[in-house]
Structure 1
Amino acid sequence: MALTSDRNTPYRDGELISVPVAAGVKIYAGSLVVATATGYAAPGSTATTLTYLGRAEEQVDNSAGADGARTVLVRRRKAFLFANSATDAVDQACVGKPCYIVDDQTVAKTHGTNTRSACGIVLGVGAEGVWVE
């Protein structure tokens, strides 16, 4: 039903979120974190069913737990410095364009013939790695 008066709508910041962790995984602090096809947090990897979430703020070991047995804090809405792929390197021409997830610390220029999920938007590239928003 549509509103007929003002509503005090709750909100969250959205920069730091707690996400239930997938079964059988360990997420390291500072790593690239994704949501699996079922919505659980996992370390970044080469797969086509992942959604980029951000950077892990803590280490969480759910290697012996079921889906959701643990949660991980994930920082979002920032630019993070990830490693550049040695075989499919992000370059200056990629600034403003999406890059793709290789693993929990590495991004690539392409989707690898439809084998990689999108990560985020490239903001900068240098010898130290790739800045991804």
Structure 2
Amino acid sequence: MAALTKDRDTPMMGEGGMMFVLPHGSAVTIYRGALVVVDSTGTVKPGTTATGLKAAGRAETGTTDDAALARFRRGVFLFENSASGEAITNAHYGDDVFIVDDQTVARTNGTGTRSVAGKCRGVHASGRVWVEI
């Protein structure tokens, strides 16, 4: 699955979740529904294959405004599953899953190239993965 190019309806398991606000990263577009991370500067950016990122949650607002605050929610969200050898199954329940991009997670850290997205909380009948962030 490729990174987002528009807002995404990212389902959440259950109700609620905790809302947070941090500075928006510079020169990036965050789409509503994206898996977002906090980088080493303390700013929020879309998830990507990289190390040293901290999974923050699901973006609640989409923006390209560097001066804006990024709103995100923590909880259990439904994200896209990687393909073939990186695909997550229900056998991986409770395991760490890893960030591929702002809507996709994988079973492994890609030989040390990916940050942890959160814990696998099951695979939906559609093949997408419930991830607790």
Letter of the structure 1 residue corresponding to residue 76 of structure 2: A
- Give runs of aligned pairs for residues 99-118 of structure 1, distance below 5 A: 99-118=97-116
Give unmatched runs, 5+ long, in structure 1. Answer: 1-13
Residues in 2 aligned to 1:114 and 1:127: alpha-carbon distance in whole angstroms: 29
Q: Return the letter of the residue paired with 2:87.
A: A
Which residue is 1:52 aligned to?
A: 55
CA contact (8 A) 1:60 1:71 kept: no
Q: Which stretch shifts more, 102-111 or 123-132? A: 123-132
Runs of 4+ in 1 over 6 A off after TM superposition: none
Cα deviation digits, residues 27-62 of structure 1 (max 9, x gap): 000000000111100000000011000000111113
Q: TM-score, normalised by structure 2?
A: 0.82
Are 1:125 and 2:123 counterparts? yes
Hey, what does 1:3 align to over in structure 2?
Answer: none
Same amino acid, percent of matched pairs: 48
- Which residues in structure 2 correspond to 1:1-133 (within 5 Å)? 15-62=18-65, 65=66, 69-76=67-74, 78-87=75-84, 88-128=86-126, 129-133=128-132
CA distance in 1 between partners of 2:89 and 2:62 (Å): 30
Q: Helix, strand or coil: the match of 1:61?
A: coil
Look up the equivalent residue of 1:43 and give its one-letter code: P
Give the gaps of 5 or more residues in structure 2: 1-16
State the SS of the aligned residue for 1:24: coil
Give the greater-gyration-radius structure (CA).
Answer: 1
Report Cα offsets for 1:97-122 as digits up to 9, x if no partner.
11000000000000000000001000
Residues in 1 aligned to 2:87 and 2:70: alpha-carbon distance in whole angstroms:
29
TM-score (norm 1): 0.82
- 2: CA distance, partners of 1:71 / 1:60: 9
RMSD: 1.2
Q: Secondary structure at the match of 2:112?
A: coil
Count of aligned positions? 114
CA distance in 2 between counterparts of 1:37 and 1:19 reads: 13
